[in-house]
Amino acid sequence: MSAYGLLPFRFLRFDVARTLLVNDAGDYQILGTRDFEHFVHHQLGSEEDAYLDLKAGHFLYDSESLAPFELLATKYRSKKAFLAGFTSLHIFVVSLRCEHSCHYCQVSRVSADRTRYDMSEETARRALDLVFRSPAPRLKIELQGGEPLLHFERVRQIVEEARRRATIEGREVEFVVTTNLALLNDAMLSFFLEEGVILSTSLDGPEALHNANRPRPGNDSHSRTIAGIQRVREVLGHDRVAALMTTTRTSLQSPVEIVDEYVRLGLTSIFLRPLSPYGFALRSVRTTGYSMHEFLDFYTRALDRILEHNAQGIPLVESYAQLLLTRILTPFATGYVDLQSPAGAGIGAVVYNYDGDVYASDEARMLAEMGDTRFRLGNVHRHSYSSIFGGDTLRRIVAASVAESIPGCADCAFLPWCGADPVHHYATTGDVVPHIPTSDFHEKNFFIIKHLLTLCERDAITRRIFWSWVRQESLREEEVA
């Protein structure tokens, strides 16, 4: 036997015969029972495969050299790299108006004629002043609502002004408009083409399901969405529009049909999202809601169908799985605020409401629309950059979202891959610190992470598919044969 020391790790009994080990950088190994027991009792031989794998994965060290610690520290810094740039995603709510009346809408939308819920020119300008105080070298500005195309004048102002400032400062800026596409016209498309704007839309599945989930006058939401996607592709390019879906009770019965609709339309990504506990979604929970267990059953069936298509050479990525797999299979961080510790609320993303109020996240804004403003950071007309981004409110949010200090999270094997969402926990339990055994946030992430690991271990084809998602490249036909 050889002398070696243990580097920090967490573990989980993966199944009756195997144990999962995960270090602070997110590297993992799965050991059989015998190898795990020998490892922790310093009884592994230096020539054994398990010993060599654990050494390469930074779970043990067997010399006086500091190299293993330095390498592990480098990987850990990479995992926390999202902290370096501070706030890079800036969301502008240019209007609360919307001509749709989706039952699950997360915000307190208003009818299309109520223009007092539009962002003013001065509010947009002051919000941009804050955007360009951020030290992030690359900025992303997302324009949403309501329906932002109902206030296209403000969309144009924000994009043009931000582009001008970015050019002067030598910074990169990316624009995304989140829209239902129903109001899209040629003038808007020309502007988006000129400015390199990406569009994001909602597609809940086949026509009957989509129209039921997302009603609008004329009952033509689905046909308008499809027509909008086609027009964007013709003018901006095939990859300049993406779609996501929201799962309602009706959706639970149709995972295959929903996935197949995305394939039929040639979309290459789908985000399988559960309902959120905010706004109209909360009010209609009795008719549209379901348990997390029901959603996870839907998710696994939909993911199976997605993998079937991938195995046939049809590219389709499930976006939430892609985010998790990037964290599991690589040392790199993602920009998804809920999968970070501390959470990216405020320090990774921030929301400027139509009235100038600034929120740590879109969920914090939704909570405010329900009457609770405890996560409001300030207002662009009344507060400075330092008071908004350095004030007590944001400091409390950050402190409450360090998963390493949350009971039940701190010793979880999945900690390096997961995160915390204090706004969600407060909205569902009244406390920013979650009670892990009853947390639906924990239930969802724990189940999906373990399911993805199980699929990775299942067969080589699935592993190759997952790696193609992480690398954002298509598999050749022979790679899935």
Mean pLDDT by 10 residues, the chain (481 residues): 87 95 95 96 94 94 87 88 88 89 59 74 97 94 94 97 96 96 95 97 93 84 94 95 93 97 96 76 59 96 97 95 95 85 91 96 86 93 96 93 92 93 87 88 95 93 95 66 53
Classify 120 in phi/psi space as left (phi over 0), alpha (psi -120 to 50) or beta: beta
Of the candidates 215, 206, 210, 203, the one whose C-alpha atom is nearest the C-alpha of residue 179 is: 203
Rounded to whole angstroms, how far apart are CA atoms 425 and 434?
A: 6
Rounded to whole angstroms, how far apart are CA atoms 47 and 36?
A: 16
- Alpha carbon 473 to its chain's center: 20
At residue 28, what is the residue type? Y
- Distance of CA 207 to CAs 69, 100, 217, Å? 55, 15, 15
Token pair 């094997």 is found at: 413
Residue intervals in the chain for CATH 3.20.20.70: 85-364
CATH architecture of 85-364: Alpha-Beta Barrel (3.20)
Give me the pLDDT at residue 383, please.
96
- B/e letters for 110-146, b = 16+ CB within 10 Å, e = fewer, are bebeeeebbbeeebbebbbebbbebebeebbbbbbbb
Of the candidates 112, 234, 232, the one whose C-alpha atom is nearest the C-alpha of residue 184 is: 232
Give me the pLDDT at residue 281, please.
45
Rounded to whole angstroms, how far apart are CA atoms 249 and 104?
A: 10
Q: Are 325 and 313 in contact (CB under 8 A)?
A: no
φ/ψ (deg, to 5) at 201: -135, 180
Rounded to whole angstroms, how far apart are CA atoms 191 and 140?
A: 18
HEC readout, the chain = CCCCEECCEEEEEEECCEEEEEECCCCEEEEEHHHHHHHHCCCCCCCCHHHHHHHHCCCEECCCCCHHHHHHHHHHHHHCHHHCCCCCEEEEECECECCCCCCCCCCCCECCCCHHHECCHHHHHHHHHHHCCCCCCEEEEEEECCCHHHHHHHHHHHHHHHHHHHHHHCCEEEEEEECCCCCCCHHHHHHHHHHCCEEEEECCCCHHHHHHHCCCCCCCHHHHHHHHHHHHHHHCCHHHEEEEEECCCCHHHCHHHHHHHHHHCCCCEECEECCCCCHHHHHCHHHHCCCHHHHHHHHHHHHHHHHHHHHCCCCCEEHHHHHHHHHHHCCCCCCCHHHCCCCCECCCEEEECCCCEEECCHHHHHHHHCCCCCCEEEECCCCCHHHHHCCHHHHHHHHHCCHHHCCCCCCCCCHHHCCCCHHHHHHHHCCCCCCHHHCHHHHHHHHHHHHHHHHHHHCHHHHHHHHHHHHCCCCCHHHCC
Give me the pLDDT at residue 337, please.
86
Give me the pLDDT at residue 83, please.
84
Contacts 24+ apart (CB under 8 A), 469-474: 469/317, 469/318, 469/321, 469/322, 469/325, 470/322, 470/325, 470/326, 470/329, 470/330, 474/315
